[in-house]
Chains A and B, each alone.
Chain A
């Protein structure tokens, strides 16, 4: 079945460092891909998404490109801030908003001042 694999955390970086969180997927069809962020004690917030190959999602300085050839959707940010500390989930689904999401295990990011 379909699945999402994320790099193991936790990831600890200094402020202004470059961030990459790897995400690869296994899919039987052509899913949409998402990154969600979960701040401590809160629910999930959509960070960015891409619905087809070569699409780039971006938001708040974060970017991820839908790479069909490598089945990847790596999250990047050029300069992280302390406020970016959170757990990041990569996910996929079919059927737009009507389809359930399949999540990776999440990667905890801690950014130190």
Chain B
């Protein structure tokens, strides 16, 4: 079964709205979570790396004031798209790394499809 839960799976909202996406590790502690963005028919691009209890590290070109990431606990990271606009429409996917399991693969959520009207 799924070990990483991402919610919501699909959201449609008006331009200017802020949208929060949650990524939860269900049965393990995740010291590190990654947020990716996938445009249609393209690959996943890393947006930011989220470490529990510290500020997220953003990739070049990703606006940290636009995409707010919070990793307040070892099982939850959130991505908030602030004042979303149509160009923010995309598929957002998180992944989580198990604490202490360095040689194990990351676990991915099922993604959130965001559509801004």
**Which A residues lie at the B interface, using CB under 8 A?**
34, 36, 42-46, 49, 51, 89, 95-98, 100-106, 108
Q: Which residues of B contact A101 (CB under 8 A)?
A: 34, 44, 46, 95, 106
Instruction: Check: B78 CB closer than 8 A to any chain A CB.
Output: no
- Complex CA gap A23/B109 in Å reads 24
Instruction: Check: B32 CB closer than 8 A to any chain A CB.
Output: yes
- Complex CA gap A44/B43 in Å reads 11
Q: Which residue of A lies closest to B109 (CB)?
A: A43
Asked whether, in the complex, the Cβ of A97 is within 8 Å of the Cβ of B109, the reply is no
**Which B residues lie at the A interface, using CB under 8 A?**
6, 31-32, 34, 41-46, 49, 93, 95, 97-98, 101-106, 108-111
Q: Which residue of A lies closest to B106 (CB)?
A: A97
Q: Which residues of B contact A97 (CB under 8 A)?
A: 32, 97-98, 101-106
Nearest-neighbour CB distance to chain A for B53, whole angstroms, equals 15
> Provided the pairs A97-B98, A100-B34, A100-B49 are in contact, do residues A105 and B42 lie with their beta carbons within 8 angstroms?
yes
Q: Which residue of B lies closest to A97 (CB)?
A: B97
> Provided the pairs A42-B110, A43-B109, A49-B105 are in contact, do residues A100 and B46 lie with their beta carbons within 8 angstroms?
yes
Nearest-neighbour CB distance to chain B for A93, whole angstroms, equals 8
Q: Which residues of B contact A106 (CB under 8 A)?
A: 41-43
Q: Which residue of B lies closest to A49 (CB)?
A: B105
Asked whether, in the complex, the Cβ of A98 is within 8 Å of the Cβ of B110, the reply is no
Nearest-neighbour CB distance to chain B for A111, whole angstroms, equals 19
- Complex CA gap A34/B108 in Å reads 14
- Complex CA gap A61/B106 in Å reads 22
Nearest-neighbour CB distance to chain A for B110, whole angstroms, equals 4
Q: Which residues of A contact B105 (CB under 8 A)?
A: 34, 46, 49, 97
- Complex CA gap A36/B41 in Å reads 15
Q: Which residues of B contact A51 (CB under 8 A)?
A: 103
Nearest-neighbour CB distance to chain B for A16, whole angstroms, equals 27
Q: Which residues of A contact B32 (CB under 8 A)?
A: 97-98
- Complex CA gap A112/B89 in Å reads 31
